[in-house]
């Protein structure tokens, strides 16, 4: 590698040459473009690059998804939340001797083996609030201190216009979530008559109505009739009903189309596991896992030029609470997946779980910041320079982009 990835020739005049120089910048080649690289550069010009953000609303317990089983303190904090050792039935799927993936994440484990999956652990946003609503706003606005009236992915769309296409970004949602709201045009799409299942939300709704003589029995009947029990337990019937993998496949096809958008936002619900976390987390994790595999299938060959960033607003308490769940915490895990990702390892500066190491004596301590991860992907994958990154994440000058996230050869 030579030169600076943010070399000024990134701003070369528009035309065929632009793509070359952008790619050159991506590759860290600076001004040193050789003809020998040209075909490669054209094949993977910036407009070929796809970037997807999946928001997990409700706070994923990072230590349930990527279990730091090698940390001796883990079992003392949450004995009831562990599902066994790697190699045991129901135990985590090993990620190289210290971490293991939740057993429902077999598809991600396969991507990991192929070097296309990169968990980033002990990461958190810049905010330290434990309100879902506030934290999700910050996660989507791209700030930790003040409110901005647009979402950061919208500002990314503004930074990489596509000639001939009005909107370069799409939300797989009824209306664009905050992350895609803003000046740059963004489409949103859901299949007609699509009813997003409320999944585990129904459980809570049934509980709210349980003692009501009118609505209680009605909800109970309705859930029984729909075979909801299967759905909660992640049975075959339930999985079919859960739409995320189906949506992810279609999103992949849209992104793969030559004229399609290059940026997409998706969202998933059902992560707020205050109660009975072990059974309740299996289902959304499985849906996310199937969703990533389906996204890859939908993208086809374009997967090689894709990076998917999976983020949640904060993590959950290290200690198991009194109802077999966890409460709102701080650091958690984020995922990067895709053919363009330099994966096959877990990236973390592990803070440790020994007493005294926890953040505010309750949470996994953050050792990395989400903006650093996002800026790293945007710089290396989409070739955005320092100035663009500062427009996308205002006030993030002190947060260096994480390096080494994207493969430097395709």
Partner 1 sequence: MTPAPIEAAIRFGYGPKPGESLPADAALWLRGQVERPDPLANGPGTTAVEGLEALHADILDRKRGLKPERVRRIYLAEARAVGDHLVDTAMPFRERLVWFWFNHFTVSLKRPFVAAVLGDYVRTAIRPHVTGRFEDMVLAVMRHPAMLMYLDNARSFGPDSIVGRRRHIGLNENLARECMELHTVTQAAGYTQADVTNFARILTGWSISPPLLLARGAPAFRFFAAAHEPGTPPLMGRRFPPGEAGGVAALRFLANHPSTYHSLAAKLATHFVADAPPPEAVARIEHVLATTRGDLKAVSLALVEAPGAPLAKLRTPMDYVVATTRALALPPGRRFPVLPAMAGLGEPLFAAPQPDGWPDTAAHWAAGEAMLRRVDWAYDVAARAGTHDPVAVADAVLGPLLSPATRNAVSRAGSRREALTLLFASPEFMRR
Continuous segment of H or E residues that includes residue 376? helix 370-382
Nearer to partner 1, 125 or 351 (CB): 125
Note the helical H segments in 210-267: 215-225, 228-232, 236-241, 244-256
- Taking the complex as a whole, the smallest distance from the CB of residue 130 to partner 1 amounts, in Å, to 11
CB 179 within 8 A of CB 152: yes
89 is an interface residue for partner 1 by CB under 8 A: no
Continuous segment of H or E residues that includes residue 62? helix 62-65
Task: Tell me the DSSP string of 151-217.
Answer: -HHHHHHHHS-BTTBS--EEESSSS--GGG-SSS-EEE---TT-----TTHHHHHHHHHTT-TTHHH
- Angle, helices 277-299 vs 106-113, to 10°: value is 50
Region near partner 1 per CB under 8 A, out of 192-200, 232-240, 243-251, 353-361: 192-200
**Tokens 């050159």 identify what position?**
24
Name the phi and psi angles at 158, rounded to 5.
-65, -25
400 is an interface residue for partner 1 by CB under 8 A: no
- Taking the complex as a whole, the smallest distance from the CB of residue 256 to partner 1 amounts, in Å, to 26
Among 4, 47, 73, 209, the residue binding partner 1 under the rule CB under 8 A is 209
Among 71, 116, 272, 289, the residue binding partner 1 under the rule CB under 8 A is 272
- Taking the complex as a whole, the smallest distance from the CB of residue 173 to partner 1 amounts, in Å, to 6
- Taking the complex as a whole, the smallest distance from the CB of residue 325 to partner 1 amounts, in Å, to 11
Site residues (CB under 8 A) for partner 1, limited to 220-249: 220-226
Q: Could you tell me where the beta strands, DSSP code E, fall in 233-351?
A: 263-268, 306-312, 332-337
One character per residue 116-135, x = contact with partner 1 (rule: CB under 8 A): ----------------xx--
Within 13 Å, how many C-alpha atoms sit on residue 252's CB side?
27
- Taking the complex as a whole, the smallest distance from the CB of residue 267 to partner 1 amounts, in Å, to 8
Nearer to partner 1, 221 or 349 (CB): 221
Question: For the chain, what is the radius of gyration of the CA atoms?
Answer: 21
145 is an interface residue for partner 1 by CB under 8 A: no
Region near partner 1 per CB under 8 A, out of 2-10, 150-158, 197-205, 300-308: 197-205
Region near partner 1 per CB under 8 A, out of 44-52, 217-225, 302-310, 344-352: 217-225
Nearer to partner 1, 1 or 133 (CB): 133
Q: CA 152, CA 392: separation in Å to the nearest integer?
A: 6
User: Rule CB under 8 A: which residues touch partner 1?
Assistant: 57-59, 132-133, 136-137, 173-175, 178, 195-198, 201-202, 204-205, 208-209, 212, 214-226, 269-272, 274
């Amino acid at each position: 590698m030579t030169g600076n990835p943010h070399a000024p020739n990134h701003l070369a005049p528009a035309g065929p040459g632009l793509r070359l120089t952008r790619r050159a910048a991506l590759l860290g080649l600076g001004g040193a473009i050789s003809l020998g690289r040209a075909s490669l550069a054209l094949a993977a010009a910036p407009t070929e690059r796809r970037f997807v953000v999946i928001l997990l609303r409700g706070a994923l317990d990072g230590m349930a998804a990527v279990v730091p089983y090698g940390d001796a303190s883990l079992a003392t904090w949450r004995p009831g939340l562990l599902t066994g050792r790697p190699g045991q039935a129901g135990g985590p799927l090993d990620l190289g001797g210290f971490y293991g993936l939740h057993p429902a994440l077999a598809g991600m484990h396969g991507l990991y083996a192929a070097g296309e999956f990169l968990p980033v652990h002990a990461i958190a946003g810049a905010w330290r609030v434990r309100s879902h609503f506030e934290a999700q706003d910050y996660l989507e606005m791209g700030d930790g201190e003040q409110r901005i009236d647009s979402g950061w992915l919208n500002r990314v769309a503004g930074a990489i216009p596509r000639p001939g296409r009005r909107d370069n970004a799409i939300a797989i949602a009824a209306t664009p979530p905050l992350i895609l709201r803003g000046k740059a045009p963004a489409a949103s799409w859901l299949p007609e008559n699509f009813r997003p299942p409320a999944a585990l939300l129904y459980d809570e709704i049934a509980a709210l109505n349980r003692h009501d003589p009118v609505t209680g029995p009605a909800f109970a009947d309705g859930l029984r009739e729909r075979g909801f029990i299967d759905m909660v337990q992640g049975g075959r019937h339930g999985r079919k009903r859960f739409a995320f993998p189906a949506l992810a496949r279609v999103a992949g096809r849209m992104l793969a189309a030559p004229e399609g958008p290059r940026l997409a936002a998706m969202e998933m619900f059902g992560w707020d596991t205050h109660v009975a976390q072990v059974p309740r987390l299996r289902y959304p994790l499985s849906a996310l896992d199937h969703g990533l595999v389906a996204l890859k299938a939908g993208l086809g060959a374009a997967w090689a030029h894709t990076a998917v960033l999976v983020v949640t607003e904060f993590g959950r308490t290290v200690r198991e609470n009194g109802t077999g769940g966890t409460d709102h915490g701080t650091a958690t895990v984020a995922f990067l997946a895709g053919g363009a990702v330099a994966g096959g390892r877990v990236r973390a500066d592990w803070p440790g779980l020994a007493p005294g190491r926890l953040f505010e004596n309750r949470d996994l301590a953050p050792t990395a910041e989400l903006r650093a991860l996002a800026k790293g992907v945007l710089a290396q994958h989409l070739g955005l320079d320092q100035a663009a990154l500062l427009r996308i994440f205002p006030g993030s000058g002190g947060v260096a982009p994480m390096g080494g996230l994207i493969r430097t050869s395709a």
